Structure 1
Amino acid sequence: MTTKNPLQRRRAPQQKRSQKRINEILDATARLLAEVGLDDLTTVLIAQELGISVGSVYHYFPNKFAILYTVGERWLEDMTCVLEAVETWDMQELGIDGFVDQYCDEMLRVYHQQISVLPLVQAMFAVPELHELDERHDEIIISGLIGVFKRLGLKASNDELDRVGRLMLEMSHALLLVIVNQNKTRSVRTLEDLKTMLCEYLSKQPA
């Protein structure tokens, strides 16, 4: 007997209009997550924000955690697209400095693109139903970075490259969350500091 996943979307969109409604629900949920917080976020509130019935929300999602899960999945899909693009970059030509520069710029774009990214990340960490997303986020980034490190010529075991990837992930993730909430002057300087730290760290790895 199979157990139904409580976070599974009720149905996949069959028409553009349905996909448009789903995107509206996801965007409204992300906005409200920042405005009212996780505890006060409800499907009723989401429906009110969009001017639709709560039944319309339940038509696509069984509960608020299923909506948040899909918001997180959409964000991870954007990150995956960046990593797929990275696979096409010429690492011999870029070197460590060029890779770090482009990688940080692309990831910052993804962080900026996600509505209320900090509350979403906090929910992914704090809510048991969303832990799998937090773990998948780390796995996606680290596995992608290990491939990059090898193409950059770093000489270490997979276990050591995993450790280096974890450190790069934690450093960049933390500072990108800071950068998206800073004013332009401070964000530019913090981004440059992040790039400097990553370049210095990676350049010290055995190659």
Structure 2
Amino acid sequence: MTIEIKKQAAQRPKISKRRNPSQERSRKGVERILNAASLLLTSNSVDKLTTRRIAEMANVNIATLYQFFPNKEAIIFALYERWLVEAGSAFDHAETNYLRTAGWRDFFEQLIDTMASTNTGIEVKDRLQKAMGMNEDLRQLDLIHGQLLADRMTNFMQALGSKLPIQELQHIAVLLFHFERALVTPMANSNEEQKTMIYNKGKQSLLEVIGIAFK
């Protein structure tokens, strides 16, 4: 999953990194920049995010930031890629640990819980989702993300014994992707108790939709 995304990203130079860090010090600097941007996004909308504020939060010179990221959109792109890598790791974890031993309901419940526990916080996910409309490059990355996750969900349902035609499984997988995305904004704007309630109800609804594939 990660390799496919990076191949696609490499074709869009306007918002990709200027260069990849080759030294450990540079890699740590890039991580500080991304972590600072992520922290700022927990309490600020994307339109209020600036490269100068990110550099100040990361405690790096603005010139250093521009060595790796030509603009704010490139940082958003990199944050979204990082979220995609986390999502891919969650899928890998579920596939490795549960696919061959769990029934479909237990498997997908574990997958949903693992997806929810990624390092990218719910507020940042909400801001990143909204940022996908900023330009065509970001929209294309979002489409790649959705298609890759839907394909893997389809493969999981087949591996777990669904007898539905693949086209119907693909429709269910796409519906799941959009439904899961729709939960992000209300959770991001709720207190902890409300987040838990929305998450639990949302998970049960997701499992009910997945159950269609196994009737």
Aligned to 1:152, which of 138, 160, 175? 160
Confirm or deny that 1:16 pairs with 2:24. yes
Provide, for residues 113-149 of structure 1, a one-character-per-residue CA deviation record: whole Å limited to 9, x for no partner. Answer: 4762211111023433311221122012101101110
Q: How many residues align?
A: 205
**Residue aligning to 2:54:** 46
Confirm or deny that 1:133 pairs with 2:122. no
Over 3 Å counting, the alpha-carbon distance change for 1:49 and 1:56 in structure 2 is: same
- Unaligned 5+ segments in structure 1 are none
**Residue aligning to 2:4:** none
* Separation of aligned partners in 1, 2:40 and 2:120: 17
Provide, for residues 149-196 of structure 1, a one-character-per-residue CA deviation record: whole Å limited to 9, x for no partner. Answer: 001211122221110001111122222443355333333332222232
Over 3 Å counting, the alpha-carbon distance change for 1:59 and 1:115 in structure 2 is: farther
Secondary structure, counterpart of 1:10 in structure 2: coil
**Residue aligning to 1:78:** 86
Secondary structure, counterpart of 2:118 in structure 1: helix
* Separation of aligned partners in 2, 1:136 and 1:155: 27
Q: Specify the code of the residue in structure 1 equivalent to 2:51.
A: T
Over 3 Å counting, the alpha-carbon distance change for 1:61 and 1:131 in structure 2 is: same
Q: Specify the code of the residue in structure 1 equivalent to 2:154.
A: I
**Residue aligning to 1:182:** 190
8 A contact 2:122–2:188 mirrored in 1: no
8 A contact 2:169–2:213 mirrored in 1: no
Greater shift, 82-91 or 69-78, is seen at 82-91
* Separation of aligned partners in 1, 2:123 and 2:61: 23
- Unaligned 5+ segments in structure 2 are 1-10
Displacement, 1:35? 4.1
For normalisation by structure 1, the TM-score amounts to 0.86
**Residue aligning to 1:164:** 172
* Separation of aligned partners in 1, 2:135 and 2:118: 22
Query: Identical aligned pairs, as a percentage?
Result: 27
**Residue aligning to 1:94:** 102
Over 3 Å counting, the alpha-carbon distance change for 1:119 and 1:186 in structure 2 is: same
* Separation of aligned partners in 1, 2:101 and 2:109: 13
8 A contact 2:55–2:65 mirrored in 1: yes
Greater shift, 54-63 or 80-89, is seen at 80-89
Larger radius of gyration: 1
**Residue aligning to 2:45:** 37
Confirm or deny that 1:65 pairs with 2:73. yes
Over 3 Å counting, the alpha-carbon distance change for 1:203 and 1:8 in structure 2 is: closer
